[in-house]
Structure 1
Amino acid sequence: MANTKVSGFSRANHVGITVSNLEKSIAFYEALTGTKISNKDEIGGPRMAKTQGLEDTRIKYANIHLDNLNIDILEYVLPTPEKTSYQNNQISAMHLCFEVDDIAAAMERLKEIGVEPEGEPIVFQPEDGLKAGFGTAVAYFRDPDGTNLEIIAPQGPFKRKNS
């Protein structure tokens, strides 16, 4: 199959993260990113619910605009949310990865805001089985609700052309 862009699918606009407490999550993501929310509002009703396959919905939300992606923080009031937890190896699990220039400085930032990483960061080496991307550093952590998050200091094919 040819590597052609499909109109409208070459850029990401946002990632939505469902949370248990909007205010607590706003504080976390503002501290993590150093960016204040741009908007806080509430949306819902049967019309909105139909876009999600629901009968009715009410969602409190906030938006954070990063340089290349927006984060929508969503607290569902209706229907009553259910807690779930995904490990990175589970099918349909997703994670949000933040690109950083310096993995050590990013780890210090996590410690400053009280975040405990899943483990120590690693730097990709030939023994990891990669053909390229050596020197790329990664670490994983979670937000207050257990959402899978990652930091990456990319090299080689992991580095975007416009970064």
Structure 2
Amino acid sequence: MQITAPHHMALLTANFDKLRTFYVEVLGFPVIGAYSDRRIIFIGVGSIAIELIERAGVSNDKSGGWGHFAFEVEDVDASYKALAELGVPFHVLPNDFPEGGPVSRIAFFRDPDGNELQLVQPLGPGRYPTVST
């Protein structure tokens, strides 16, 4: 077996309309796919999509292994300002990470279901930290 690329990440929600509005209208993701017979849409840019799935009774408990989903942006500070003006609250303000030798500039916020989202702006020559051997 050979995995060729990530395809999508699914978010289950009991608040489909609220999440759809947040991702499509607030964050600006285009709808790239949808089912006509159920409340499931695919949104995305680049090589990976987010699948929003309506699921009644799904818990917003975030105690499992899920951490966060990161969105690469050209300018974290400008993106932070634009989202804050739309009323999106941030719990980690824009900052360089790691301190003392930044690889990226980051900020964290949550969607209406409480899923943690990150804005990331690579600062170095690559998109990820250098692998040491």
Q: Does TM, normalized by the shorter one, top 0.5?
A: yes
Query: Out of 12, 20, 32, which is 1:26 matched to?
Result: 20
Note the residue ranges of structure 1 that are not aligned, 5 or more in a row.
1-5, 44-58, 127-131
Equivalent residue letter for 1:109? A
2:58 is aligned to: 82
2:131 paired with 1:152: no
Runs of 4+ with deviation above 3 angstroms = none
Q: In the aligned structure 2, how far is the partner of 1:28 from the partner of 1:149?
A: 12
Q: In the aligned structure 1, how far is the partner of 2:20 from the partner of 2:92?
A: 25
Displacement of 1:143: 0.3
Q: What SS is found at the alignment partner of 1:38? A: strand
1:69 is aligned to: 48
Displacement of 1:148: 1.1
8 Å CA contact retained: 1:32, 1:109 = no
Displacement of 1:158: 6.0
Displacement of 1:111: 1.3
RMSD: 2.3
Q: In the aligned structure 1, how far is the partner of 2:65 from the partner of 2:115?
A: 13
Equivalent residue letter for 1:67? G
Displacement of 1:155: 2.5
2:82 paired with 1:114: no
Q: What SS is found at the alignment partner of 1:85? A: coil
Q: In the aligned structure 2, how far is the partner of 1:29 from the partner of 1:7?
A: 31
1:99/1:21 Cα in 2 relative to 1: closer, same or farther (>3 Å)? same
Aligned pair count reads 127
Between structure 1 and structure 2, the one with the greater Rg is 1
Q: In the aligned structure 1, how far is the partner of 2:27 from the partner of 2:59?
A: 25
2:1 paired with 1:12: no
Q: In the aligned structure 2, how far is the partner of 1:147 from the partner of 1:93?
A: 9
8 Å CA contact retained: 1:136, 1:158 = no
Quote the sequence identity (%): 25
The structure whose residues are more often helix, as a share, is 1
Displacement of 1:91: 5.2
Question: Which whole-Å deviations, capped at 9, do the CAs of 1:108-136 have from their partners, x for residues lacking one?
Answer: 1211332101131211222xxxxx5x251
Q: What SS is found at the alignment partner of 1:34? A: coil
